Amino acid sequence: MTLESWKQKIPLMSADHLDQLTKRVDQLRHKQIIYPSRKNVFSAFELTPFQAVKIVLIGQDPYHSPNLAHGLAFSVPNGMKTPPTLRNIFQEVSNDLGHTSKPETDLTRWAIQGVLLLNSTLTVTHGEPGSHRNIGWQTLTDQVVKKLSKYHNNLVFLLWGQHAKSKADLIKDFDHLVLESAHPSPLSAYRGFIGCKHFSKANSYLKRYGKTCIQW
């Protein structure tokens, strides 16, 4: 799988900007531990082609501990201990839909159904959350949100937490469903995420517009 479908629609993915970002991160890798691995940085885009996107789920940056980040927001490879935030997401799936989410912590199964698991920043330094927020990723991912909003009809945007909610202004002039709540982390999940019913609301919206529902 490649990034070609994205490069055709996202100017910053086909321009020097992407090469410069990749080179800058590669330089950092020589002296720091960076997550995810180079091969997984663009996994969200590779698994969910531009034209296949139905839902955009926005995270902040990758997990900053070993063996967790693999290019999909909130997801970790199967076999790893479920992070508390992902555990709360699964709990809300269960509460909302009346069934337990599949045990796999790897959310590739969502991505291939059209859920873009987009972190605003695509890389991070070991043990330093937010460490790459100023190197240029957010300019790129902001453009991704804008272009998805412009070129698609009736997408669902899931904005959990203040960072994700800040993206709402990139969407507001288009006809999409924007669902906002508290972040699913243990610090805030019970301030509005648990009980938000975003999974059933998203599927109802997709069904209304003739799109296949997500098997959460």
Catalytic positions, written as ranges: 61
CA of 35: how far to CAs of 32, 59, 135, 167, in Å? 10, 15, 15, 23
Helix (H, G, I), strand (E, B) or coil at 126: coil
Tokens of 124: 């991070």
Q: Can you tell me which residue has the tokens 């063996």?
A: 67
Nearest to 21 by CA among 3, 9, 8: 3
Separation CA 63–CA 83 (nearest Å): 9
Tokens of 122: 């695509």
- What the block records as the tokens of 73 is 């927001």
In the numeric block, which tokens belong to residue 126? 């070991």
Beta bridge partners of 177: 156
